[in-house]
Amino acid sequence: MANLLAGFRYLINNSGSVLSLFGEHLRMAAIALAIALAIALPLGWLLARVTWLRGPVLGVLGVIYTIPSLSLFVLLIPVLGLGLRTAIVALVAYAQVVLVRNILIGLVSIDPAISEAARGMGMNGWQRFSRVEFPLALPLILAGTRVATLSIIGIGTVAAFINGGGLGRLLFDGVATGNRGKIVAGSIAITMLALGANVILRFFERRAALAVRGEEQAASS
Amino acid sequence: MSAIVVENLTKQFPDEPQPAVDQASFEVDDGAFVVLLGPSGCGKTTLLKMINRLYEPTSGRILVGDVDARSLPVTDLRRRIGYAIQQTGLFPHMRIEQNIAVVPQLLGWEKPRIDARIDMLLDLVNLPRSYRKRYPRQLSGGEQQRVGLARALAADPAIMLMDEPFGAIDAITRTRLQDELLNIQHKLRKTIMFVTHDVEEALRLADKIIIMRTGTIVQYDTPLNIVMQPRDRFVQQLVGTEDMLRRLSLITVSDALAAQTPGELTPALGSRGSTELATISPDADLRSALSQLLRGDNAALAVVDQQGATLGQITFADMHAAVADRAVGA
């Protein structure tokens, strides 16, 4: 309890610096998520079409996911050096397995009759993807995105260890200086960020699910 | 003119011992309603799907409106051919109007033209225009299939391919949809290729039936000729040609009237009956005529056309002659 109070006291007294770290963390997570999606979407699309690639690709991504985060960050230092860039590469790598798997499942679980109708009516590959497959896979893609975002935000705290910045700084500095208030403040800030991201992404996920079922859009009113 | 010409069409799927379709050749006249009939696995759906190139033929040739199907970009070909399938394949995230508008949009029609077309099509398939804004799941199965039909007709294609479109629909709704499809066909005169394994459906709808077995075409003829002159035992059993009621249902009253020998007409008319003869339209089939005959007291029915003119009388002997006569040729 005393720790919690110390944490809040730290937040109030250092709101400026915490806010700027919060911004750093958010920016890092957003960049990592954007890059991760840019890789995962075409990769998932490819796996949906090329069946034999699924096992090997998901296997490799799964292995990456099981490497402890601190080790992965450290492993990357000799290659990419210290800093934000290295942190983002690691976060992107972590997010892949969740994103790619959900995109793949979203695309292959579409009713074959719907895909066949789309082909039979003369849609080309891009039209089928953008007008039919993507919107129908969107709820699962967004579910994957939400889980990936939460991991990125969580694992992103380790970025501070390799000079990547973000809210992890509060934790590492707090540990180094024995400042419990700072540690608790960092934890609170990260939790807020994760909860906020969860609520926002959840909203879009529900909306997409409604759209797929073709219900009157409660979400759009 | 032939709307579709198929020459030596073969489809061999990898890892299968026999071709799914083996050297199929036939022509479909402009405006004809042709039904592909056969047991499951006979290759009828494969054959259909080669026409819009959902399957690419292993060998052989398809002409669609005198153009080699392979000479066109595949999306162009498909946009020129209406396509309706059993599970409707309606896009659940699009409103009814968006579903119907898909092909016109792909073809780049102007919005007012598409709008007018949607209204026209909803009228045609007997759905209220208020359905435009609904989503497929808010409609019943039969209504969804009507939307599927409207969507297939959207860009006014000369050719329609229909893959068991009424297969998953209850019997009563199916009969109604069949009637409406026939009505629509009388109005629009599309060239239709329709896959089914339901013999009744085939006999009701078809101008001509292609009967398939293990990838080959066994017989291609009118429903009446198939019932009267089945090519072999397989066709006999598949179509149930021994079923006399089925034969009767394919012959119209006016056919039977035309087959009467002059002179032996009107024997002992109404001798048993106390009242006037019941009447029947010349367009009715002999099965309904028989049913009506059995219901009444008289041994004959008066054939009266829509203008009220009496064309003649028809008796049980005429019906017997009609089914027996034709069976002689078999």
pLDDT at B273 exceeding the cut of 50: no
3-class DSSP state of A13: helix
Per-residue model confidence as pLDDT tens digits over A2-53: 788 888 888 888 888 888 888 888 999 999 999 999 999 999 999 998 999 9
Contact B78 A124 (CB under 8 A): no
> B112 is written with which tokens?
């007012």
pLDDT of residue B243: 80
Contact A136 B93 (CB under 8 A): yes
pLDDT at B195 exceeding the cut of 50: yes
Per-residue model confidence as pLDDT tens digits over B26-45: 999 999 999 999 998 899 99
Looking at the partner chain, which of B102, B135, B138 has a beta carbon nearest the beta carbon of A121?
A: B102
Give the separation between CA A202 and CA B239, rounded to whole angstroms: 57
Size of interface A-B (CB pairs under 8 A): 74
Q: Report CA torsion sign: A71, A75, A77, A83.
A: negative
**Average pLDDT across chain B, whole number:** 88
Backbone angles phi, psi at A184, to 5 degrees: -65, -40
Question: Contact, A44 vs A99, CB < 8 A?
Answer: yes
Name the helix (H) or strand (E) containing A159: none
Q: Closest Cα of chain A to B239: distance in Å?
A: 29
The listed range with the strongest mean pLDDT (A156-165, B147-156, B254-263) is B147-156
Question: Contact, B77 vs B68, CB < 8 A?
Answer: no
3-class DSSP state of B196: strand
Minimal-distance CA residue of chain A relative to B49: A120
Write down the domain spans for chain A.
Answer: 2-213
Minimal-distance CA residue of chain A relative to B72: A122
3-class DSSP state of A41: helix
Residue A114 sits at the chain B interface (C-beta within 8 Å):
yes
3-class DSSP state of B242: coil
Give the separation between CA B73 and CA B79, rounded to whole angstroms: 10
Residue A111 sits at the chain B interface (C-beta within 8 Å):
yes
Give the separation between CA A87 and CA A159, rounded to whole angstroms: 5
pLDDT at B328 exceeding the cut of 50: no
- Segment 128-167 of chain A within 8 Å of chain B by CB: 131-132, 135-136
pLDDT at A139 exceeding the cut of 70: yes
- Between strands B191-196 and B208-213, the pairing is unpaired
Give the separation between CA A212 and CA A118, rounded to whole angstroms: 16
pLDDT at A175 exceeding the cut of 60: yes
pLDDT at A181 exceeding the cut of 50: yes
What ipTM, to 2 d.p.? 0.80
Looking at the partner chain, which of A121, A135, A214 has a beta carbon nearest the beta carbon of B78?
A: A121
pLDDT class for A221, splitting at 50, 70, 90? very low
Backbone angles phi, psi at B29, to 5 degrees: -70, 155
CA B60: distance to chain centroid?
Answer: 26
Name the helix (H) or strand (E) containing A191: helix A180-213
3-class DSSP state of B95: coil
> B166 is written with which tokens?
């009424």
pLDDT of residue B255: 84
pLDDT class for A109, splitting at 50, 70, 90? very high
* DSSP E strand boundaries for chain B: 2-11, 21-29, 33-37, 59-64, 67-68, 81-85, 159-163, 191-196, 208-213, 216-221, 279-280, 300-304, 310-315
One of 3.30.420.40, 2.160.10.10, 3.90.660.10, 1.10.3720.10 is the CATH number of A2-213, namely 1.10.3720.10
**B28 strand-pairing partners:** B4
Task: List, in order of start, the domains of chain B with CATH numbers.
Answer: 2-242 (3.40.50.300), 249-328 (3.10.580.10)
Neighbour count for residue A204 (Cβ, 10 Å): 15
CA distances (Å), A159 to each of A153, A168, B185, B211, in order? 10, 7, 68, 70
Give the separation between CA A114 and CA A123, rounded to whole angstroms: 12
State the best of B55, B83, B93 to mutate against chain A, taking most chain A CBs within 10 Å: B93
Give the separation between CA A148 and CA A88, rounded to whole angstroms: 13
pLDDT of residue B262: 64
Give me the mean pLDDT over the B71-100 stretch.
92
Residue B92 sits at the chain A interface (C-beta within 8 Å):
yes
Contact A214 B136 (CB under 8 A): yes
Per-residue model confidence as pLDDT tens digits over A43-79: 999 999 899 999 999 999 999 888 888 888 888 888 8
pLDDT at B325 exceeding the cut of 60: no
Residue B93 sits at the chain A interface (C-beta within 8 Å):
yes
CB environment B5-26: b (16+ within 10 A), e (fewer): bbeebbbbeeeeeebbbbebeb
pLDDT of residue B264: 52
Give me the mean pLDDT over the A133-157 stretch.
93
pLDDT at A220 exceeding the cut of 70: no
Looking at the partner chain, which of A111, A120, A132 has a beta carbon nearest the beta carbon of B54?
A: A120
